[in-house]
Structure formats: C-alpha cells, structure tokens
A and B are shown apart, each in its own frame.
Chain A
Amino acid sequence: MNGILGYATYLPYYRLQRSAISAALGGPPGKGTRAVASYDEDSTSMAVGAGRRVLASLPGDLAAVYFATSTPAYLDKTNATAVHAALGLPPPVGAFDMGGAVRSAVGALGAGLASTRTSLVLAADIRTGLPGGEDERDGGDGASALVVGPGSAEHPVIAEHIGGGSATGEFLERWRVPGEAFSRRWEDRFGVHALLPHVGRAVTAALVGAGVMPDAIDHLIITGTHPRAVAAFARMSHARPEVLVDGLASSVGNTGAAHPGLLLASALDRAEPGAVIALVVLADGADVLVFRATDTLPGRRQSPTVAEQVAAGRDDLAYPTFLTWRGMLARQGPRRPAPTQPAAPPSLRSEAWKFGFVGSRCRDCGTRHLPPQRVCLKCGAVDHMDAERLADVPGTIATFTVDRLAYSPSPPTVLAVVDFDGGGRYRCELTDVDPTAIAIGDRVEMTFRRLYEADGVHNYFWKARPLADSAPAPSAGQGQGA
C-alpha cells in the first residue's frame, strides 16, 4: 500500500513576537510568536531546506518533485527546477510547480500518494498581510517535505495511506490578485457557512473509504485558510483534546501551503505504530487524507522534530525589520550600487556550483576546490577532477568580518572564510547569525538562500550559518525526538 516514506520540515530562524506589532501599531496586545522567513529566504529556498532534510535519509531515486506554494518566486518559469538543482537531483527526475493556491499542497500530496512511483512533495509559503491585519499576525513562514510512494524493503512506508476524500466548491472566501502582496477575504462568518458542508462530506467519504470510525482517530489535524471554520469543525468533531494536533498558531502561525505537511510532520513525530492520523484541510472545499503509522515509523522520525525546530528559533525580531524584509517598509541603504542581475549563460554553465554547491576534487592529490577548478591548486593536474557536492559538509570559520558598506537587502553583510571538513575553503556570507557573536573556530553549515533580486532575477546561492548543534538546545519537555 502506498504511503509516506519520509518527512521533514523547515522553519526559519526568526520569530516575531505578536506583541511587537501591537506595541508599534496599537490595538489589543498580541500573544505568542509567528515564524518569519529571513530577508534572504523565499518559498523556493525554504522548500530546499525541507527537501534537503528529507533526502538526507532517503535515496534520490525519485520520479518527480511537486512543489506547492501560494507565494511562488516566479511565474511562467518553474520554481521546482531550482529546488531540483539545489537538491542535486538528476535530470530524469521531473520537477513541477503546483502553483498559486493554498489548496495546491494537499492536492499535490494526494496526487503523489495515488502514483505508482515515488514522489517528493514539497510545500513552502511566506504568509503575511498588510500591517496590523490578521494575516500578518496569524500567518507564518515555513516548508514541509514528504516523500510518498509504494515503498521498498530498504525504504518502507512509515505511514500507510488508508483513505481519503475531497469536496470541492466555488466561492469567494480568500483570494489574491496576481501581483498583490496580500490576500483579500470575504466576511468572516460567510467562510464558515461556505466551508463546513464540504468538510462534512469529505471527512465522511474518507473515513468510509479507510474503514475507520471517527473515534479510532488517534491524531486529528484540522487546518485551512479560514481559522474560524477550522475552529468550528474542531468543536463539531467532538475530538478529545489529546487527539487534536496543535495547529502551532501560538508559535509558528499558519504557513499556508506548508501547513498541512508541517502539522502532519508534527503528528508523525509522536505517533505510535498503528496510530491513525487524519489530515483535514479546509481550502476552497475540503480534502481529507487518512494514514496509519507502521512499525517502521519510530526509527525514521525526522530530527530535529517540529517541536525542536519551533524551540530553536530566535524570537526577538524587531517589527520594523520584519516590515522591511516583507517589502512593506522601504529603507535607505548605503551609498553603493545595487547588484546587477545574474546572467543566464554563466548561471547555466555553473548550475552544479551555483545551485548544488558542487566543487571539484583532484583525482591525483585529493585537493578540494570551491568553486570547481580545472587546474589543481596544489599539484597542478589539469582536468583530473571529480565533481563533489559539499552542501552537506560542515565547516569552521577561519576569519570573518561585518561589512557595513556593501549592498545588502538587510545590512550589514556578515562575511566568513569557511574551511570545510575534509578540505576546501570558501569565502561566503553568514546568515541567521548574530553579528556580535562570531569567533574564529565557530562551526557552520551551508544553507541555500536567495541573495537578492536584481532586475526581476532572483539570485540563489549558498550561505553559511551557525551549525544547528551549536544553536540553543530546545527547552525541557518540548523535544519529542525518537
């Protein structure tokens, strides 16, 4: 039976205290935090973050990558191809966007589960709205990755897909005109009226198909585009509190297309073998997927868990910085030229380097080169190189500086010379870092980022960030790791 072979999530480093919004703009004091993608992240780069984690323990023998987002970096051009390149996947693996709507994500997951081949289903979103609004406050940024398919002896199904149901309707509940930075919504109570009948139909169909009674559900995930309707269905379900999976509203916020995968991951972090997990997504109708955890799940949970990722963030982001990053506040930068757009032919020539962080290693003397070189730095051998991907190799800071003059979408630029474990050096930007707390000898890992946008071109490349191990440990009681 088809099912989930692996899962992972990516939450950005920063959290915005909701009280920071009310402190700046007035209104009732906000509670909790929301996750915030950094200035150098977008839906594509966060999808890479989640994809790297899930593929670290699974093979790359995928048939296709499906990438769902309501905030695509490009239209016309496929965004999943950049993810594909950053994950180092071979050309025969397809890469497709499931674009535009929040609902695309659960649709992509359902399609992947229905396929006879193995698929990587990615979802990522940056959710915000106009300053002071509900979407800004209650939205969140993040990504989820699920590998789904028939499984194998080596990579067994960790959660069987035992049933599903959908109900589709056409109504104006939440929408956004292409090019606009925020969503529009109809009156709140109308959404409950329009959505709830669909939820009932889809849930009934799914449970009948799966052959399970409602009270057999061990983990019930209810999420969607409409908080009031989600809450209403949670009440109607009469599910016991321990069965309802926390929607992470108080810590992460609603991550749009990424949220179904994020909450499914949260459930998989904890589900025992045999447990039934139901995912209910309210968006332009309702979609329900039902899973049963297998005996192989406990040994294949993601690390860090969702709870650990939630706890690992930094929660003191200033509200003006948040507004600047989301393009809501134009700020004066240094008197320096803006960068020029990356050119297409050199970007194609260096695809493996630029997107995959692939260097070269000398066949004669073993010296590593970043970027890849044809002539060996040490022994001078010409064209005796093997390609070597270094995206997952950690490194150590040899020296560093903080550049307050260079152009950056969010000055200052933090720069480090990184020496990689096993050889190779590269001078690159640091991100997700406190500029006042860097030292020679600090450990770093690579992360795929959008450096800047110039003339309509997103410049994707790699930066280093403090190694997760050296990040603050999760607080007691929040870690759920196997």
Chain B
Amino acid sequence: MASKGIRDRVAIVGMGCTRFDEHWDKSTDDLLVDATEETLTSAGVAKEDVDAYWLGTMASGMSGMVLAKPLKLGTKPVSRLENLCATASEAFRNACYAVAAGAYDLVMAIGVEKLKDSGYSGLVLADAPGDGTIGELSAPALFSLLAPAYGNKYGVDQAKLKEVFTRIAWKNHHNGALNPRAQYRKEVPKEVIANSPIVAGALGIFDCSGVSDGAAAALIVRAEDAPRYTDKPLYVKALSFIAGAGRGAIDPDYDYTTFPEVVLSAEGAYEQAGITDPRAELAMAEVHDCFTPTELILMEDLRFAARGTAWQEVLAGTFDLDGALPVNPDGGLKSFGHPVGASGLRMLFECWLQLRGEAPPERQIKTEKTLGLTHNLGGVPGECVSFVSIVGSRPSA
C-alpha cells in the first residue's frame, strides 16, 4: 500500500539556496558552505544544534564526508543519498522521516551538484562496466520520444506541439528573469526559442534545462517545535516516492504519453494531503521541467489538466505566473538551472518563499491558497523515479 504519510507532523523552519549558475569560481565545498550558512541563519541556529544531516548528490562526491569535511562537523551522522535527478527530494524525504520517527529534533537536508567541471555538453553519467548493449543516448533524445507519441495519440501536429514546447520554455524564462537566484535571468523571445539549434527530435537547445552548479538546504523539526524557530513554518503535508521498474522501456503497453511513476506518486501525495482537486487547491507547483515535453506531460500526470488537453492549457496561459495554477514560478529547471542533486530542494525553496509571502513582489503569487507541490523526476520516459511533495503554510484544521 501507499505510504500512510506524516501529514503535519514535521515542518520546515529554515531554508537556503545558492544561485544556480556556472560557478567556475566555486567548488562543491564552497556551494555546501554557502547553502548551509544561509539555511542556519534563516532559522537562527548553529551547525552544532543540528542533530543529523542528509546529503543528496548524484555525482559530486561519495559518502557523508562530502558534507562533514567542508563544514568540519565530525560528530554528527551524515547520510549520503542518490536517486538520479530526484536526489535532493530523497534527502529531504528521509530527513523528514527521521524527525517524524522521533530519532532527532533538528535535522538538515541538503543537496548539491557541481556539473560544470566535467567539460562536456549536457549531463554525463558514469555507468558501471557493462556489455555494451545500453545505447549511448542523450537525455534530451530520450525525453523527445514523448513528442511524436503525444502528437500521434491526440492528433496534435508536430508544428503545433513545437509551439506548445516553445510556450513552456518562454514562460519559464519569463519567470526566471524575475528571479535573482536563477541561472538564466532574461526573457527569451519565442522566435529565438523556436529557432534554436536542434539537439534531439523536436527539441532545440532552449527546450533543455540549464546545466549548472548549485546547492539548497532545509532545516526540519517536529511541527510542535516549529514556533521556536519561525512564526511562518512550512508544514509537510505529503511525501510520495516511486522507483519505477523500467516497464515502459520493455512493455508495448506503455505509449510514451505519460509517466506512470508520476501518476502513482502524485496520487499517493494527494491522498496523504487530503487533496481531491489539485488544480483548484494548489497555490503553485514546482515541477520537473527537464525538457519542455516533460512539463507538458506532467500537467496531465499531476491532474492539472485532463488527458490530451494540456497542450491547449499551456497555450491558454493556465500555468503562467498569473494563470489559474502557476507552474515553476521561480523559472524551473529550464531557467533556474538543474544541478541534479540540488534541484528537489530548490523547488521546496520556492514554496518556502511563495507560501510565506517572501518572494520578490514582481513574482509573488497573489492567492489565498496555502498549498504548494513539488515534483521531482529522475530517469527517462519508461524508466524513472518520481517524487511528489505537498507543503503548506497552515496546519490542517
């Protein structure tokens, strides 16, 4: 059965996030120190007050010492987690459970990634020795498989779909331009996006998220302890995670117009949080827009739009900053950047700002709603892990 959930049992009382950028002048250690300092300061605590740490990084180091060494911790447990692009969310989830279990009073989840030192274009993963039968394929290519399949299923021609993808990238760049912590801080005209050099399938360079370096962190306590740290805690309503069995890659029943792992993890989260109509109940959502077709599909998988209609909703502006349900108000992976092991906590950081009314005025969402969703995906269509969280600024009635 799905997780019973820990609704309202733990709360976020402090957060920090570096700018995501090509940090040529900052090391992994620097990013970790920057993110932890900001986070500790936001809650008015010292690193000695933190009982345990969960560090997420996909490829910027191994073991808890990656955090313990630069911070000079030495006497604290540090768990190091990896779950592809959902790595930071996984650190957050495990940290929340440790507090809910009563093992610790105050813990930190932190995610970091240093991608730009590799010297390659895009993301590069080191694979275990193999038999050579796994193709050397790029992430944009595997996500671009969604486009012909979606168009074919719903009768949307590829030119119209390209317009939809362009609209998603344009929207996220628009939001990111308003965000001083984003990697790309300028609007990009739709003509530039639509005519950018093709990387794979229908996807141009502007349909891909930014490869960057960065770190983000959160401090978590039991909900009843939260007022000791802040008068505006964020309550954790739901944590839902699925590791896919890779069925889609080998099962002809999978049609490449959905992420079944996302549907499952989202439904689990909605059940934990008591949400029945996410589109109406959520104030905002941060979703895993690694490539523009991904965001399109997610709008349907997360039930923000009915099957086969998200492309129309995108064109209608439903998910714009001033739309019915703002999606990626901070610019998303597209514009904020995607240092893999940090992104899940960056999404929560935007919820932290928006739901506490602390986003810069030019992008503060004006709403009475109190719930935010983060969706974080790792892998590719057909074989992925998916994480969904719901956080809120008020405890449930």
Contact = CB atoms under 8 A, between A and B. Distances in A.
B201 interface: yes
Nearest to B197: A404
Given A354-B132, A413-B136, A461-B133, A369 B250 contact: yes
Given A377-B247, A440-B148, A405 B121 contact: yes
B196 interface: no
B316 interface: no
A317 B138 CA distance: 26
Interface string B243-278: 001010111101110000000000000000000000
B127 interface: yes
Contacts of B119: 335
Interface in A63-114: none
Given A340-B127, A342-B131, A403 B138 contact: yes
Contacts, number: 131
Given A370-B250, A399-B148, A413-B141, A405 B122 contact: yes
A324 interface: no
A445 interface: no
B135 interface: yes
Give the interface centre of B140, B149, B200, B250 by most chain A CB atoms within 10 Å: B250
Contact of A399 (B135, B145, B250): B145
B46 interface: no
B132 A402 contact: no
Interface in A340-359: 340-343, 345-347, 349-350, 353-354
B73 interface: no
Interface in B114-148: 119-122, 124, 127, 129-133, 135-138, 140-142, 144-148
A150 to B, nearest CB: 39
Contact of A350 (B122, B133, B256): B133
Contact of B199 (A339, A343, A405, A452): A405
Contacts of B245: 377
A354 B136 contact: no
Contact of B252 (A336, A404, A407, A425): A425
A239 interface: no
A423 interface: yes
Nearest to A413: B137
B129 A346 contact: yes
B256 A398 contact: yes
A424 interface: yes
A244 to B, nearest CB: 46
A280 B302 CA distance: 72
A427 interface: yes
A440 B152 contact: yes
Nearest to A414: B141
A295 to B, nearest CB: 45
Nearest to A458: B132
A461 B121 CA distance: 26
Given A336-B121, A413-B137, A451 B144 contact: no
A334 interface: yes
A94 to B, nearest CB: 25
A426 B131 CA distance: 16
Interface in A353-375: 353-354, 369-371, 373
Given A336-B122, A350-B133, A428-B135, A398 B255 contact: yes
B133 A405 contact: no
Contacts of A460: 132
B162 to A, nearest CB: 14
B280 interface: no
A343 B141 CA distance: 25
A425 to B, nearest CB: 5
A425 B121 contact: no
B131 A406 contact: no
Contact of A405 (B152, B200, B249): B200
Given A377-B250, A417-B256, A424-B252, A336 B133 contact: no
A432 B377 CA distance: 34
B192 interface: no
Contacts of A373: 250
A415 B148 contact: no
A400 interface: yes
Given A335-B120, A400-B148, A342 B132 contact: yes
Interface in A370-406: 370-371, 373, 377, 398-406
Contacts of B256: 398-399, 417
Contacts of A377: 245, 247, 250-251
A235 to B, nearest CB: 51
Contact of B249 (A425, A440, A451): A425
Given A398-B256, A402-B141, A403-B201, 13 more contacts: A336-B136, A340-B129, A347-B131, A353-B133, A354-B131, A354-B133, A377-B250, A399-B256, A401-B141, A406-B135, A415-B135, A424-B252, A425-B249
6 contacts: A335-B121, A336-B124, A337-B120, A343-B130, A398-B255, A429-B135
